[in-house]
Chain A
Amino acid sequence: MSERVAIVGVAQTVFSPKRPDVNYAELAYEAISLVLESTGLSVEADIDNAVSCSHDIWDGQTISNIGITDVIGGHLRNEEKLAMDGSTAVYYATIGILSGEFDCTLALAHTKMSQTNRNIVNNTAFDPIYSRLLGLDFTSAAALQAQRFMSRYNISEKQIAEVVIKNLANATRNPWVHNKGFYTLDQALDSPVISSPIRKMDIAPDSDGAVAIVMASEKKALKVTDKPVWIKGVGACYDAHYLGDRDLSECYALRSAAEQAYRMAEIDHPRDEIDLVELGDEFSYQELLWLEGLGICGSGEAADLTCRGFTSFDGALPVNPSGGLLAGVPTNVAGLNRVAEAALQIRGEAGDRQVGDVRIAVAQGHSGFCGQHQCVIVLGRE
């Protein structure tokens, strides 16, 4: 990229299973006011536009960005909503700033999963004519993907459980999340089966929360902070909709998105050049599959890599030191939280979950069941 775009501020709410004390606008404002406060920026003087990620059906409001117009500074100004994972807010904000139209963008993602029912909501993402009547939801679709992935590469439930154990242990270092602890392999494998092979502990739990990020052009960024986190590369791609059209053990869309992002970031050897990965482990097996899609290892190799400690907190390439989505991060907010965590690591501000010196980090987010739409963001210190 000839012009450069940076993240200049990051804020998140505490993620909890239920926030009955706030509506979603108030929840979003917790993150927005924090990020403005911490950067010293004002909506009036500094922010040119806003990009938000949410879904009408989760918010329970038609055109649900109406609900955040006031708190995001949308009145008489530009606010665009993507009905996608939060990672796409960073993707699109980057494009907007590169276009020269905007200098400084506020990106937001919020969701209150507690106010409705994820199975019903997610069932409506299946096409109404062919697949919806089967009663599929994201968990049952994920179970099909997990089964295919595990059988193709001979991956055991124990290997998948290692992801759960690692991420929930990592989460004990993260004050923002609610699902954490030191578990044994037996405990993970004793967790009740929801849709085989997926157990309760393999699923990111329902959570309420919001993340806000401020992004800026190079010129603006250097005025705002002495620790800009540069967007080195972005990529996105859609896979096919019908599960029967896909080999679910492949991640075609993620490979394409990662390739775009790496090309832009001039990364030739992701495994060697990347210091940290934050990815969307909505289900535990996805951490393995997405690592392969991100080119960190070959197909079917991520399980072994994980069991060898390569992706552990103090491993060669820490993956989800924050605890990931399994630690309790709301859907949609998921990808923006991945970017936020990666940015905090690069800034050296990740607190107890800081893994050391992080120069290049990758954040991944996905929308739709079995990761149909994939988005990859490469972040760097230089």
Chain B
Amino acid sequence: MRKNVAIIGGGQTHHAARRHDVNQVELVNEAVRAALADAQMTIDEIDSVLFGNMEFFEGCHMTDCWLVDGSGAYGKPGLKITTGGTVGATIVGAGVHHVASGLFNKALCVGFEKQEEGDTGAILSGVAHPLFGRSLAGAAVGYFAMMATSYMAAWGAKEEHSAMVAVKARQNARKNEYAHLKLDISIQDALNSRMLSYPIRMLDMCPASNGACAMILADEKTARDRCAKPVWIRAMDTAHNEQFELDWRDVTTKKPIFSRVSASRLYRKLGVDDPSKYFDVFEIYEPATWAEMVWYEDLALCRPGDGFKLVENNMTAIDGPIPVNPSGGVLSTNCIGASAMLRIWEAALQIRGDAGGHQVVSKDIRRALATAYGGTNWTVLTALSGTMDD
């Protein structure tokens, strides 16, 4: 990257299952105003607006065009980016490219989803090829169920382990004022929740949320002049996986796959030997409990097959040595087009020390890693730091 880029402000909505009180324009505008207020900036100062969501989830073609009043893009350069679940992070990457190009100093990144306005299950089944598998596609639930049966058969994990992840997420969410599912649940509650697709139960899956996230990225001079606590984007990496080979459902695969390839590239860029020590906190995109345990392994926080043991030993709890998703993660809030950006924004808040009730206090947070997940196994990884010195 030719120039250093920092997050100088951000904001999010209070995420919820029902937001009939606002239309899509108004929902997006809540996050944009929060981000501008956080950066102490007006929309007039923004050079470019990068916007995205799950295309057509709300039954609208070209949402960027309708939502110009909410996003602030009217009269400005901007782009609509859509890469599925990863889009929130892809937009941030686009913001980084815009600022690093030297053509723009302040880029506003906006991601949103108003899931209540469409049929997410049916549309997600549309991810499958129209002539190969679409008629029996099981949306995201069926896919993660197959990952789970594979994980249990391969490593000996039990349903209790996924329940532990489910509980950790919702208990953390209770500390996060913006989270959607703030549930005071026990492991037994998770194990008793309704079976959706064996072994995935209701509490093993992310909710369908309405919400938005916005962030302002700036060049080094603007960041230093205008922001008391800039958070620097140190490196990003994107890896998509091929269309028909859904490799994450066979957890024993030895093939180079998106998550591991992307992590190793990112670690090489930064000179990371042990990510569990290099990064102080992780915000990962886990649409299902089992995905969180696989992420631990693919991010090399532990050896393959040991992911469930991290949970068992409370290693990834908010006060554990490797805090993962103190915000409650995607399991507590999934407004898809915003979800990957929320991971980055939550990671930035931890570095700033501004996460409020879910701030990690057991250790000093200097560096964070955020992951995105979407498509047919795609990811975008973002490494953040409070300083430019590492």
Contacts and interface: CB of A to CB of B under 8 A. Distances in A.
B66 to A, nearest CB: 5
B212 to A, nearest CB: 17
B1 A76 contact: no
- Chain A: interface secondary structure? mixed
A138 to B, nearest CB: 11
B269 to A, nearest CB: 11
B130 A61 contact: yes
Contacts of A121: 61
Contacts of B127: 61-63, 66
A299 interface: no
Contacts of A98: 2, 100-103
A136 interface: no
B61 to A, nearest CB: 4
Interface stretch (A124-132, A156-164, A185-193): A124-132
B59 A128 contact: yes
A78 B55 contact: no
Contacts of B17: none
Contact of B97 (A83, A95, A373): A95
Nearest to B63: A83
A56 B239 contact: no
B79 A88 contact: yes
Interface stretch (A67-75, A271-279, A285-293): A67-75
Between B23, B65, B124, B242, the greatest number of chain A beta carbons within 10 A of the residue's beta carbon is seen for B65
A281 B207 CA distance: 44
Contacts of A79: 83, 238, 240
A171 B43 CA distance: 44
Interface in A231-286: 234-241, 252-253, 256-257, 260, 264
Q: How large is the interface on B (under 10, 10 to 19, 20 to 34, 35 or more residues)?
A: 35 or more
B382 to A, nearest CB: 13
A167 B65 CA distance: 29
B78 A238 contact: yes
Given A55-B55, A66-B375, A241 B240 contact: no
A367 B51 CA distance: 14
B97 A76 contact: no
Interface string B245-279: 00000000000111001100000000000000000
A242 to B, nearest CB: 9
A99 interface: yes
A96 to B, nearest CB: 5
Contacts, number: 197
A100 B60 contact: no
Given A82-B81, A257-B77, A241 B69 contact: yes
B101 A125 contact: no
A236 B62 contact: no
B68 A240 contact: yes
B126 A62 contact: yes
A55 B65 CA distance: 14
Contacts of A91: 79
Interface in B44-101: 49, 54-56, 59-62, 64-69, 73-84, 90, 93-94, 96-101
Contacts of B100: 98-101
A125 B61 contact: yes
Contact of A82 (B1, B23, B80, B130): B80
B69 to A, nearest CB: 7
Interface residues of A, number: 64
A240 B74 contact: yes
**A56, A66, A91, A236: most-surrounded residue (chain B CB, <10 A):** A66
Nearest to B380: A78
B241 interface: yes
Contacts of B67: 241
A361 interface: no
Centre residue among A62, A82, A253 by max chain B CB count within 10 A: A62
A81 B93 CA distance: 12
Interface in A38-58: 49, 55-57
Contact of A95 (B1, B83, B98, B125): B98
A365 to B, nearest CB: 12
B193 interface: no
A122 B61 contact: yes
B142 interface: no
A70 B242 contact: yes
B129 interface: yes
Given A69-B243, A238-B74, A84 B79 contact: yes
25 contacts: A3-B2, A60-B126, A60-B130, A61-B130, A63-B54, A67-B243, A79-B238, A80-B94, A82-B80, A82-B82, A83-B55, A92-B97, A98-B101, A124-B60, A124-B61, A125-B66, A236-B77, A236-B79, A237-B77, A238-B73, A238-B74, A239-B74, A241-B65, A241-B68, A368-B65
Interface of A: 1-3, 49, 55-57, 60-67, 69-70, 74-84, 88, 91-92, 94-96, 98-101, 121-122, 124-129, 234-241, 252-253, 256-257, 260, 264, 367-368, 372-373
Given A61-B130, A100-B2, 9 more contacts: A62-B126, A63-B54, A66-B84, A76-B257, A81-B82, A92-B97, A100-B1, A128-B60, A373-B64
